[in-house]
Structure 1
């Protein structure tokens, strides 16, 4: 029987490529997005599709129940859905922070709670949480997004040890900049802020999406991230973390620098602007 994977956030970019990568490996793929029109091409390619908003408990239960009813198993869960709420910490309202965590943290938690009992019952399974280089190092102007990814990393680390005895693996995939529409969405989120003059330099830094988006030379392709997710999904003993791209590898290393040095680098960068 073909193995089964449930993937969130498949409308474009990494999620879309991940669905195709697992499909090419012969898996039964349940590709989900808030709007199924956005994943019609995945259905044509051979995926099972479903509408899924990761903030909706009922939709999550319905999709997980459907996979179990139709195939009796969830071998891999890929928590990919997410977005970036950028902006100086002071300018980001509590409501916007709650929305960010609802998708990036509570969403994976909801999916994990729904799928994990079935994995434990079978004594096997893999949960892959798509994090970010921002989940390892916090950056000015990205505190809310970094906070959500830091939280996802911490929860994943705890979960990995908790479920080890049950035969379930937990892996984090940590890309740096990716050539997707992520930057466009982040720019849209910036526009929601009541931007104060106190942080003009920070806003100028993010006005050009090439600073953190898909046009930067160090950005990796969605296919590269999908390839890494697939590697974690098919491995009998996946690594705890999979950094993807040079930015992610560098971010991981900078964690070992003294805080004063990192702060000095950011200070100088903002002065240059």
Structure 2
């Protein structure tokens, strides 16, 4: 029997892509996924899928993580109905690939509001309850982009870099208080993320063969839920490049050449 059996896992951005797949996979382990996202129709569809495949009813809540009032109101309601949230997965986020000089301010502000401040707001709403209980696990979906930035992803990479910085500091703050913090740093995943991020379709066309499957990423996250780790980097070879970049950035930028400009 999985250690997740009977646990409650709250997932933001659970209406599709990685979030929906993760919700299904934890339900298969006997956990109760709580689904949150902005689109009620999509949340209902994910709820029905989980019910059909696992016979587990996954409650859902309409949540806009970029709106602090929404986070406070919805999390308050969730905690009244589910007072013991064992795991929080901060998965909600989006990116838009474009040159910084051409980026409308609403796009820049939107990415930071969702990817960074929204993640912090959700964590802040739940962390005190975990600390009071002396147990819990926060999983933040970051990105390899947070370790090595490339053209047309300067703002998106900045948000994910912020997620990594926040997560690393928070991990140290709660290390001896029973709460684990894990960051997930994937490369490109084959989801509808790119419908908005890569409207030209060029990036997807160039990297399609190396895209990660949501099921593979979800499998790794579920294992981290059962046995917490500091971070997960996918695929391994991309993380090698990110690690080398920290040591010799100029050389890696030179060698990267055209591969960094696939957007």
What is the TM-score with the length of structure 1 in the denominator? 0.85
Question: Which position in structure 2 is the counterpart of 1:26?
Answer: 30
Stretch deviating more after TM superposition (129-138 or 62-71): 62-71
Note if contact 2:16-2:46 (Cα within 8 Å) is conserved in structure 1: no
Is 2:19 the partner of 1:15?
yes
Question: Which position in structure 2 is the counterpart of 1:258?
Answer: 248
Residue correspondence of structure 1 range 34-49 to structure 2 within 5 A: 34-44=38-48, 45=51, 46-49=57-60
Question: Which position in structure 1 is the counterpart of 2:65?
Answer: 54
Is 2:86 the partner of 1:75?
yes
Q: RMSD of the TM alignment (CA)?
A: 2.2
Note if contact 2:91-2:141 (Cα within 8 Å) is conserved in structure 1: yes
Any stretches of 5+ residues in structure 1 without a counterpart?
191-205
Shift of the 270–6 alpha-carbon distance from structure 1 to 2, 3 Å rule, reads: closer
Question: Which position in structure 1 is the counterpart of 2:8?
Answer: 4
Cα shift at 1:265: 2.3
Cα shift at 1:87: 1.4
Give the Cα separation in 1 of the matches to 2:142 and 2:178. Answer: 22
Give the Cα separation in 2 of the matches to 1:85 and 1:36. Answer: 23
Question: Which position in structure 2 is the counterpart of 1:155?
Answer: 166
Give the Cα separation in 2 of the matches to 1:268 and 1:83. Answer: 24
Give the Cα separation in 1 of the matches to 2:237 and 2:92. Answer: 21
Residue correspondence of structure 1 range 110-259 to structure 2 within 5 A: 110-188=121-199, 207-212=202-207, 216-235=208-227, 238-246=228-236, 248-259=238-249
Any stretches of 5+ residues in structure 2 without a counterpart?
52-56
Q: Secondary structure at the match of 2:176?
A: helix
Note if contact 1:219-1:245 (Cα within 8 Å) is conserved in structure 2: no
Q: Secondary structure at the match of 2:175?
A: helix
Shift of the 174–185 alpha-carbon distance from structure 1 to 2, 3 Å rule, reads: same
Aligned length: 252
Note if contact 2:8-2:84 (Cα within 8 Å) is conserved in structure 1: yes
Note if contact 1:184-1:209 (Cα within 8 Å) is conserved in structure 2: no
Q: Secondary structure at the match of 1:86?
A: coil
Note if contact 1:228-1:244 (Cα within 8 Å) is conserved in structure 2: no
Note if contact 1:176-1:246 (Cα within 8 Å) is conserved in structure 2: no
Question: Which position in structure 1 is the counterpart of 2:54?
Answer: none
Note if contact 1:163-1:169 (Cα within 8 Å) is conserved in structure 2: yes
